[in-house]
Structures are given as structure tokens and as C-alpha cells.
Amino acid sequence: MEIEPSILYFGTPVVLLSTENQDGSFNLAPISSAWALGQTVVIGLGREGQTAYNLGSRPDLVINLPAPAQWPAVERLAPLTGRNPVPSGKPEGCRFEPDKFAAAGLTGEPSRLVRPPRVAGCPIQLEALAERVRPDVSGEFVIVEAVVRKVHADSRIVVPGTDHIDPAAWSPLIYNFRHYFGLGPELGRSYRTQTPRNVEGSAPADTGRTHGNEATGATSRPCRVPH
């Protein structure tokens, strides 16, 4: 079929961007147009939003990755903007909120290298600097290239004794055509993976929710971070 969908959000991880407002307070916004290229994360932002405004002047940010169970907090942020007055292009029902951490029921914790706080409870937090901010081809968005300077990970999703995120222990929160999903069972592994297999001590003894894949022998389980 040939169709004309109004959106093309085909399923990308949700990140929560913390940035610094002009008055020194901090903004927090859910974003799904984000992907990594080496140590750079490329981010697409609405031109009129507070986040784009902040990164145009103050390059510090934290790219926080929530776990699937945190989707209600993400959705509480959805109708909020840190921009006052609310830009005319924002959807109906969007309102100004100066303290989005409190509004979402989230807590900040200090970053090591940048001014905006990390979101406590997000299993992966990337401190970064927006090194390039430029308009996209439509003029409606800006494209941000953020270079990651410090990676924080919950110890429960790190392969013990290594710098590897355990893909069986971590699941991103996926924004799939405006609906929230976690990951399903693992299907297989890339020939390029460097993550050790059958990691000692990584079995989900507490949940027993291991999913097997008969074809590949692969196993996967939901993120064990309890939120």
C-alpha cells in the first residue's frame, strides 16, 4: 500500500534532555529523535522549544535514558514546555512549567562535567556538549550534534569487571508511532559485538523471566532496574 502517515516515528529510544535555562534553572524534555554516531549523539529538536533555545546559547546537556517502566514520568512531561510564553506552534494543551523535574516526579542529581543535573533513576546518563546546532532542511527543526564526555551507567546493567553495557540487562524505552514499548526477547547478536557471552552472575535469579530463542540460543530479559 502507499499511505500518507502524519508521522514517521518508527520506533526510537526516548531520551530525557536536561539543559540550562537563561536564569540558571534547568529544563527537562522528552525527545525520541536521537541516535549515536561514535561518541556523538545527533538530536532533532523543534525550533521553538526551550531545549533548542537553551542549546543554542548554553551547550551543556545530559542525555538521560529512562527504563521502560519510567514511561509514565516521560508522559507527564509530554504536555509541558519550559518556554514562557508558550510558542504558538506548540500543540493544544501544552503549558509552561518552570520545574519539570517536580512536575514529572523526577529528581536531579549533580553531573560531573556539565551544569545541568542528571535524572536520578535513569539507568544510563550521558553528559555531553552541543558542539553544533544548526537548522534542518525544513526550517522547523534544529539538528544538534552533542559530543558525549562522561557516561554513567547503573551497575546492574554493566557486565561486571568491564565497560560493557549488558544488552540482556538493559532495555531502552521505545517511542513507537507515539506509543511506548520496551524490547522483546533477543533475536541474535551482531558479529561485531564485543560483549562477553554467558556472563557469570548475570542470570535473572530474582525474576526467572528469561526468554529463550530456539533458533539462536539467545536469551534476553527485561531491564532489572526496578523503576
Ligand X SMILES: Cc1cc2nc3c(=O)[nH]c(=O)nc-3n(C[C@H](O)[C@H](O)[C@H](O)COP(=O)(O)O)c2cc1C
Pick from 35, 39, 78, 109 the residue near ligand X by CB under 6 A: 78
How many CA atoms lie within 13 Å of 52's alpha carbon, on the beta-carbon side?
Answer: 18
Count interface residues toward ligand X (CB under 6 A). Answer: 21
- Which one of the spans 56-64, 78-86, 149-157, 193-201 is the region binding ligand X (CB under 6 A)? 78-86
Range list of β-strands (E), the chain? 10-13, 15-20, 26-31, 34-37, 40-46, 60-65, 80-81, 95-96, 108-109, 118-119, 124-135, 141-153, 174-176, 179-181, 211-212, 219-220
Pick from 18, 27, 125, 171 the residue near ligand X by CB under 6 A: 27
Q: Is 170 in the site for ligand X (CB under 6 A)?
A: no
Pick from 40, 44, 115, 167 the residue near ligand X by CB under 6 A: 44
Three-state DSSP at 205 gives coil
CB closer to ligand X out of 18 and 125: 18
- Which one of the spans 49-57, 124-132, 156-164, 214-222 is the region binding ligand X (CB under 6 A)? 49-57
Residue found under cell 557469570:
200
CA–CA dist 206, 225 (Å, integer): 12
> Which residues are bridge partners to 158 per DSSP?
165
Pick from 13, 46, 116, 123 the residue near ligand X by CB under 6 A: 46
- Contact residues for ligand X, defined by CB under 6 A: 14, 27, 29-33, 44-46, 49-51, 74, 78, 80-83, 94, 175
